[in-house]
Structure 1
Amino acid sequence: MGDCTEAGVPVIDFSAYRLSLTKPDTTQFQKLVGDVHKALTTIGFFYIVNTDFPHAKVDELYKVSKEFFDLPLEGKQNPPISANRSQGYAKIGRERLNTDRPYGDLKESFNYSAATKDNEWPIESACPGFKTTNKDFFDLCVPLHDRVLEVMAHGLNLEDPLFFVKRHAEPTMNCLRTLFYPSLSDVTAREQQVRCGEHTDYGAITLLFQQRPGLEVCKSDGSYFRVPLVEGGILVNVGDLMQRWTSDLYIATKHRVLLDDSAEERGKSRQSVVFFGYPSIDTTIECIDKSNKYPPIDSMEYLDSRFYDTY
C-alpha cells in the first residue's frame, strides 16, 4: 500500500488509472487494486492522489457556494427547496445524522442530484453561477467515481469489472453536496450539538473534498481519530449499501465532525464538498458472494428510509 497519514489513513497513488488514461496502466494497476481492496477491508477510508482531477474547480465551487450560504435565509429558500431525497437546501439544524443526539447538526447544505428540478435552485440573480458551477462539478466527479468502482470490482475479482458502474447508471440519485459550517462566533451550539453527528454513509461510495481538517473516523475499538488533510488528496469511503453488497467485506465506517477544540478554531467557519455515489433507483442490492447474509433490498427503498430518518 502507499503512504499513510499520521492517523493511519492510506494514501493511494491513483496514477495507474488517472482520468487522462483511456485504459489502466497494466504494470501498476494491480498494485492500485490491491491497495484499495486492503484499505476497504480494514479501515474503510483512503485518500487518492494523482487522479488528474482539476482541483482548481474545488476552489471555484467553494467560492460560489460561500456566496450562496451568505444569502439571507429567505434567499436560500425562495423559491421553496425540498431537503428530502438529497435534493435542495437544508438549513442549520435541519439534518440530524445521529438520531440519538437531541438536536440537528450545526451545518447547512445544498444538495444537487441529476433529478433536481429547475425550481429547486436559488434565483440566478441572487447567486450568479451557482447552478452552473454545481452541475459542472457534479459532471467532473462522475468519471472518477466510476473508476473507483471499477477498481473495487477488480479487487473483489468480479467477472464483470463494470458490475458496479453499470448499476450506478442513470437514473440514479448520485448527489453533490456543498456544506457550510458556520463560525461558533455567529451561532450558539446547544448541549450535545455537533457539526455532523456520528453516522455511516448511505450509498455505495463517497468522495470528500476537504477545506480544513475536522473529520473524525471511528476505529475498531470505538474510539475516533481525526483525519489530517492531504494536499491534492480526495478522501474515499464506502457506505451501507456497498457493505451489504459485499457481505461486510468492505466496511462502512462511522465518522463525524465535532465542534472545534480551541477558541481560535471555533471562531472560523469551514466548508466541504461531498459527492455521494448511489446505485441506480431500480437496482436490487444482493450479496455478490451469494451468501445471502443480507436479504435483497431495493436501493431506493433503503435510501428513502435513511433520508426519512435524517430529515
Structure 2
Amino acid sequence: MGDCAEAEIPVIDFSAYRLSLTKPDTTQFQKLVDGVHKALTTIGFFFMVNTDFPQEKVDELYQVSKKFFDLPFEAKQNPPISANGSHGYAHLERERINRDLPYGDLKESFNYSSATEDNEWPMESACPGFKTTNENFFELCVPLHDRVLEVMAHGLNLEDPLFFVKRHAKPNRSCLRPLFYPSLDDVTVKDQQVRCSEHSDLGGITMLFQQVPGLEVCKRGGGYVKVPLVEGGILVNIGDLMQRWTSDTYLATRHRVLLDGTPAERSQSRQSIAFFGNPSEEAVIECTDNSNKYPPIKCREYLDQKFNTAYK
C-alpha cells in the first residue's frame, strides 16, 4: 500500500473567525483564507486550531459513546444502520468502503443525522444521555462547519461568500459519527482486513476529532503520511462531492486506518468522532467555476449512489 512517513499536515489558526466572533477579524482573515485554500488544493487536509469549540463537549461525547460501544451486541443493534447510512449502529465489519477488499472494516460506529424526525435510538435506560449528547454535539458542529464553508467560498473567489452555507440548509444528510475501534484480542483478523479501508469521503466537508493517532493520508505523489495529534486541533478534509463541485480545485484525498502494529497496541481500543457535512438534499451540484466539467446532479441522488455502495 505504499510507504508511510511523517509529514506536516498544515495547522491553521482560526482565531480570526473563531466561534465567539460575530464577524471575521479583517486584519487576519485573508491569511486564514489563503491557508485553507492552499491546504485544500495540495494535500486536501488541515488542522484548525483556536476555534473556540468546547473541548469538554468532545470529552463528554467520548465518554457516553464508550458506554454505548461497551454494551452487549443485542443492546446496540437496535437501531441498525439505515439503508442510506445516515442513522443507526454499524457493527464490526458492517461497512466496506473500499469494495476492492474482500472483508469489512474492523470498526464500529453510530451514525446520527437530523434529516428525519423519526430516528430511532437505543433505549435511554441502556445508555443514559446517549441521544441528547449526540444531538447537542451535532448542533455545536454546524456553526463551525459553516465557517469553514464560508472560508472556502472566499478562497474560491465566489461572488457570494455564503454560497456553500446557503446550499447546506436543512434538510440535509449531515451526519455525526462516533467511531470505536475495539480491542482485537478476541477478533480473528482476516486477510487484508484493516481498521478503516482506504477511501475518500463522499460528501462535502469532514471535521474529525481524534483521540489517538492512527489515520494516514495519501500524498499526491503516492505513498502515505501519518497524521499526528495536534492539541486542540480539529482535522478537516473535503469529500468527493465537494471536489466535483469545485471542478477538482479542492481535493478529496484518500485516507485509511491500518491495524495497530504491536500485540499490545492491538489490545487497545480507540475512539474518534467525525462530523460529515453534506449539502441540502435537493441542492443541485453544479461546477462553481461554470466550467460544466461535471454535469449537474442533485445532492440526494449523488449520496444515494455512494452510500448504496458502502452499505451494500
1:256 paired residue number: 256
Q: What whole-Å deviation, never above 9, does each CA across 1:92-133 have from its counterpart, x for those lacking one?
A: 111001110000000110000002555520011010000000
Q: What whole-Å deviation, never above 9, does each CA across 1:157-188 have from its counterpart, x for those lacking one?
A: 10000000000001111100011001111322
Q: What is the correspondence of 1:178-197 to structure 2 with a 5 Å cutoff? A: 178-197=178-197
2:59 paired residue number: 59
1:155 paired residue number: 155
Quote the sequence identity (%): 76
Structure 1 position 79, deviation (Å): 5.1
Letter of the 1:279 counterpart = P
Letter of the 1:120 counterpart = E
Using structure 1 for the length normalisation, give the TM-score. Answer: 0.96
Go from structure 1 to structure 2 and tell me whether the alpha carbon gap of 1:286 and 1:85 turns closer, same or farther (over 3 Å shift): same
Structure 1 position 216, deviation (Å): 0.5
Q: Is the 8 A contact 1:82 1:120 kept in 2?
A: no
Please, what is the CA RMSD of the aligned residues? 1.3
Tell me how far apart the structure 2 counterparts of residues 81 and 246 of structure 1 sit (CA, whole Å). Answer: 30
Go from structure 1 to structure 2 and tell me whether the alpha carbon gap of 1:169 and 1:79 turns closer, same or farther (over 3 Å shift): closer
1:236 paired residue number: 236
Letter of the 1:225 counterpart = V
Tell me how far apart the structure 2 counterparts of residues 304 and 139 of structure 1 sit (CA, whole Å). Answer: 24
Letter of the 2:244 counterpart = R
Q: Is the 8 A contact 1:87 1:116 kept in 2?
A: no
Q: Is the 8 A contact 1:16 1:29 kept in 2?
A: yes
Using structure 2 for the length normalisation, give the TM-score. Answer: 0.96
Structure 1 position 73, deviation (Å): 1.1
Q: What whole-Å deviation, never above 9, does each CA across 1:237-262 have from its counterpart, x for those lacking one?
A: 00011101111000000000000112
Is 1:206 matched up with 2:221? Answer: no
Tell me how far apart the structure 2 counterparts of residues 83 and 183 of structure 1 sit (CA, whole Å). Answer: 27
Is 1:129 matched up with 2:122? Answer: no
2:106 paired residue number: 106
1:310 paired residue number: 310
Structure 1 position 205, deviation (Å): 0.4
Tell me how far apart the structure 1 counterparts of residues 75 and 6 of structure 2 sit (CA, whole Å). Answer: 42
Structure 1 position 41, deviation (Å): 0.4
Structure 1 position 267, deviation (Å): 1.1
Letter of the 1:47 counterpart = F
1:42 paired residue number: 42
Letter of the 1:137 counterpart = F
Give the 3-state SS of the residue equivalent to 1:159 in structure 2: coil
Go from structure 1 to structure 2 and tell me whether the alpha carbon gap of 1:291 and 1:146 turns closer, same or farther (over 3 Å shift): same
Tell me how far apart the structure 1 counterparts of residues 176 and 79 of structure 2 sit (CA, whole Å). Answer: 20
Q: Is the 8 A contact 2:85 2:111 kept in 1?
A: no
Q: Is the 8 A contact 1:204 1:241 kept in 2?
A: yes
Tell me how far apart the structure 2 counterparts of residues 225 and 173 of structure 1 sit (CA, whole Å). Answer: 30
Structure 1 residue runs of 4 or more that deviate by more than 4 Å after TM superposition: 116-119
49-58 vs 216-225, which deviates more?
216-225
Tell me how far apart the structure 2 counterparts of residues 116 and 54 of structure 1 sit (CA, whole Å). Answer: 27
Tell me how far apart the structure 1 counterparts of residues 117 and 269 of structure 2 sit (CA, whole Å). Answer: 29
Q: Is the 8 A contact 1:81 1:121 kept in 2?
A: no
Tell me how far apart the structure 2 counterparts of residues 215 and 80 of structure 1 sit (CA, whole Å). Answer: 26
Give the 3-state SS of the residue equivalent to 1:154 in structure 2: helix
2:85 paired residue number: 85
Structure 1 position 231, deviation (Å): 0.5
Q: Is the 8 A contact 2:78 2:89 kept in 1?
A: no
Structure 1 position 56, deviation (Å): 1.1
